[in-house]
Amino acid sequence: MSESVPPGVGTGMDYEETIDERPMRMLEVWRSLKRDPAALGSLMLLVLVIVVAVLSPFISPHDPLQTFNDIGLGPLGQPLPPGTPGFLLGTDALGRDVLSRLISGTQVSLVIGIVANGLATLVGVLVGVIAGYFGGIIEAILMRITDVVISFPILLLCTALIAVTTRSTTNVIIVIALIYWTTLARIIRGMVISLKQREFVIATRTLGVGHLKIMWKHIIPHLLPAIIVYATLGIAASILIESALSFLGIGVPIPQASWGQMISDGSTYFQIAPWMLFFPGACLIVTVMAFNLLGDWLSELLNSSAPMAR
């Protein structure tokens, strides 16, 4: 009689593939990707974003921190509009090249999004697996800590933590990681509670296999689909949180380029220099949307291809 399982979760034998089956699985993934233009376009866009972030020091036309007081401002001290020779996307209120700052901000946002979300995912998986597997007092303590953290609005808690620490990129990453693990921990805990009652886990435990080995080899592999989807969506959320903090003036330290800081500056000069707000806002929206669309496609792919329980 089959058991109900969470989406993307199968039996221990379901994930075993021969070398000959792997090319076929990759071919199915590619066909699925081609059938979804939004996901394919999002993937191509994110590849471009990653390339720009990696090559930002080499492809920026100017130093993102350099102010061109002599040629970067108009006769009345106003920012130069897009299309000005030497400044493709114009300049900001300090005479800095907008395109160079956008490219530098791409690297900042991507690094913070990936690293902060990676740390949050690691913490969430560890807490969820330990709480779900051992249960009892360990589960109660870990889940009450999770409830306390999740009860505060993320942006408010991040603001409070950063306000009492030194403003730096590293602290922004740490704060986002310390806050954003809670949702994944609750999801993983529920999946582990279901998995540990499956026959293959019970049989492995009966054979005397240690808890760590059971969690590492027989439980965590079944959690990978959910972890992959959450991690993809979490990068977008981490980028948004960093941008919000920088917009409020407590994120990435000035004068380092950040999309959130550029949006904040652009909102002040919106009437005379709307491009200062439009370009970083467009970059933020398109990048976050691409991560979300790709995450949705991954979720549908993994759920539709998840083997049924036997």
Domain ranges of the chain: 89-304
* Cα angle value 155/298/39 (rounded, 5°): 90
pLDDT at position 310, please?
A: 34
Task: For residue 110, give both structure tokens.
Answer: 């991507």
Task: Tell me which residue of 99, 65, 69 sits closest to 82, measured CA to CA.
Answer: 99
- CB environment 90-128: b (16+ within 10 A), e (fewer): bbbbebbbbbbbbbbbbbbbbebbbbbbbbbbebbbebb
Distant-in-sequence contacts of 144-153, Cβ < 8 A, 24+ apart? 146/182, 146/185, 146/186, 149/179, 149/182, 150/182, 150/183, 150/186
pLDDT digits (tens, 9 = 90+) for 264-280: 988 888 888 899 999 99
Gap between the Cα atoms of 244 and 49, Å rounded: 20
Give the residue, 31 or 185, on which the prediction is more confident: 185
Least confident among 19-23, 82-86, 132-136, 254-258: 19-23
Residue 255 has pLDDT above 90, yes or no: no
| Chain mean pLDDT for the chain | 83
pLDDT at position 22, please?
A: 52
Percent of the chain residues topping a pLDDT of 90: 35
Whole-model pTM?
0.82
pLDDT at position 127, please?
A: 94
N-term to C-term CA, the chain: 7
Helices (H), the chain: 21-34, 37-59, 98-134, 136-150, 154-163, 169-180, 182-195, 199-206, 211-214, 220-247, 259-268, 275-305
What is the average pLDDT across 230-243?
91
Task: Tell me which residue of 287, 261, 262 sits closest to 52, measured CA to CA.
Answer: 287
Q: What's the CATH code, domain 89-304? A: 1.10.3720.10
